[in-house]
Amino acid sequence: MEKLSYPFVPNFLLGMAGGIQYRQLVKADKNPRKSSEQTLRNILTYAKDTVYGKEHGFDYILQAPDDAELYKRYQEKVPVNDYEALRPYVERHKHGESDILFPGKPVLYATTSGTTTEPKWIPITREYLDNIYGKMTKVWLYNFIQNRHKVFAGKILSIVGKVIEGYAPDGTVFGSVSGVTQRDCPGFVKALYSNPQCVYGIADYNARYYVLMRMGIERNITLIVTANPSTIVELQNNVNKFYDDYVTDIENGTLKKDLDIDPEIRAELEACLKPNPERAAELRALKAQYGTVLPKHYWPDLQLLNTWKCGNTKVYLDKFKDSFPPTMLHQEFGYFASECRFGLVLDDTVNTVLFPHFHYYEFIEESDLDNPNPTYLQLHELQKGKRYCPYVTTFAGLYRYNMNDLLEVGPNFQNTPTVHLIQKVNGIVTITGEKLHERQFIEAVREAEEETGLKTRFFIGFADLSILGYKFYYEFADQSVTQEQAEKFTEEVDRILKRINVEYKTKRDSLRLKMPETYRMIPESFETFKAQCIAEGARDGQFKLQLLLQDEKRHEKFKKLVVG
């Protein structure tokens, strides 16, 4: 590959555009109390003439003389919401009505799984799109440059969702906000992507990953962006399986004929390809030298990898430890959901810098979550090291929306607390009052690995009310692990859980909670499960999986992945 040169044009243009918005972010974060009051007033003024605004007295709230009275009135007039409370209003928008949750109609919907059988349709307004996926995305890209000056010297591999997945009854698009963001990004950035956007329209899971890597491995990738680190694991699995096929395709400028790709998409892809025997020779030499070829070999100039690193995604990080160039920055993607992009990570920590000039935030302290009348705290009242559940009000029709997450507060950015994800609040499972946390289960498995010497490639636990106990599923790195060894492993996990969760110990010792059952899984169990979910309509970029849960639909899928 050619030596990287300084990317003057993207650095200059993003430095200008991103720098302006970065300075606005700094200004807002210098005075979070003032910014929070002004943002809440702006949102209420924006939506006061809507159906929701009139029903909930936005005009009255806005007459508050100061911030304390403003927050008091807002809490009195507007209830805390989950999606189901807002669904009737969203349905009216979906069927063509305007001015229901916000002025006008959404420009698109982001769909994601809900607590019922019906998905959530998250409305995205023009105001929200321009601010959060326009202005703040420029800060995001500017931040990449600040951390790695040559991040845009090569190509970008970015895994996003399909732009258009369908239409609401009134004809409004629903699809991937990340896909829309990539589609609408500046032309000089779009030219850096390693593949055309039609790749994300490939329905077959393996074929899509093949194309992403066949086109990516041919190029000098310097930036990878994909929220879910499990995607990185699967991309490398694809490399391990199809490396020789990539090389042949790159040499000849072709795309494997047996891939399940729509003819129109294949034609668009093939128009981008041309023979590249020089790169093919380099890749063959790498395999001859290393055997198993890793990203640090085929992308030695990679500057930055941007994925989630918090919550249960940590489980996947060990799977590609030491696979990337040692000089590369692995940056946290930030606290981000379909409902709300809360902020950005700007350094090499996991701490998300918030947007008090675009969102209004409220919080309940972890110890107050079970209180029927909890105290709602303002952004400036958060304390470093403590954990809170966040509630957000946005320019896209979410009012006091419960994110159902547990966040921990980090150091201030300017004068505003930063946050990072610990787990979903519903990451707590209980059969008989034991309140077992997902993080406790993960900790127990990791400690059992150290104690027994057995290593897992993947694991998951399900609460099963029919047996009044848990079922633990393991995919061991060594597939020769016997059922007897696996059961001994579970005994160790059980012992550790008793130590770290007193309620679990009490329920186990009293036999109210039975000994967990043990199941061994087939190779690539997680990948098989994820492929099934995506084939059924789940979106790759949004795919999340808790490792301890009570969910019979998902449980049934894993029952089919056990050995024998």
Q: What is the CATH number of the domain that holds 460?
A: 3.30.300
Confidence grade of residue 249 (pLDDT, cut at 50, 70, 90)? very high
Task: Please indicate, yes or no, whether residues 323 and 468 belong to a single structural domain of this protein.
Answer: no
Give residue 116's pLDDT band: very low, low, confident or very high (50, 70, 90). very low
Residues 295 and 439 in one domain: no
Mean pLDDT of 525-547: 80
Q: Which of 59-73, 247-261, 285-299, 548-562 has the lowest mean pLDDT?
A: 548-562
More confident residue, 317 or 346: 346
Q: Is residue 47 part of a domain?
A: no
Region 491-516: mean pLDDT is 90
- Neighbouring residues of 164: CB distance < 8 A, sequence distance ≥ 6: 173, 174, 175
In this structure, are 284 and 146 located in the same domain? yes
Residues 6+ apart with CB under 8 A from 437: 423, 427, 428, 501, 548
Q: For 105, list phi and psi in degrees, rounded to 5.
A: -130, 160
Which pair of tokens denotes residue 56?
């909930």
- Are residue 304 and residue 453 in the same domain, yes or no? no
- How many domains does the structure of the chain reveal? 2
Give the residue carrying structure tokens 């981000």: 336
For residue 81, what is the DSSP state? Answer: B
- 35: in domain: no
Question: Per residue in 299-316, pLDDT tens?
Answer: 999 999 999 998 767 777
Q: Is residue 115's pLDDT more than 70?
A: no
Residues 307 and 434 grouped into a single domain: no
Among 316, 332, 348, give the residue marking a domain's end. Answer: 332
Distance CA 35, CA 459 (A): 44
Q: Is residue 490's pLDDT more than 50?
A: yes
Q: Which residue has the tokens 């606005």?
A: 24
- Count helices and strands in the chain by DSSP H and E runs: 21, 22
- What is the rounded average pLDDT for all residues in the chain? 93
Residue 226 lies in a domain: yes
Q: Which of 298, 332, 366 is the last residue of a domain?
A: 332
Q: What integer is the mean pLDDT of 29-53? A: 98
Q: For the chain, what percent of residues have pLDDT higher than 90?
A: 75
Per the structure, the complete domain to which residue 246 belongs is given by: 127-332
Instruction: Locate 506 and state its tokens.
Output: 């009490």
Cα gap 399→11, rounded to integer Å = 37
Q: Pick the residue with more confidence: 205 or 14?
A: 14
Judged by DSSP in three states, 547 sits in coil
Instruction: Summarize pLDDT for 56-89 with one digit per residue, the tens.
Output: 999 999 999 999 999 999 999 999 999 999 999 9
Between 305 and 554, whose confidence is greater? 305
Same domain, 174 and 317: yes
Query: Is 43 in contact with 401 (CB distance < 8 Å)?
Result: no
pTM of the model: 0.84
Domain boundary at 332, 353, 373, which? 332
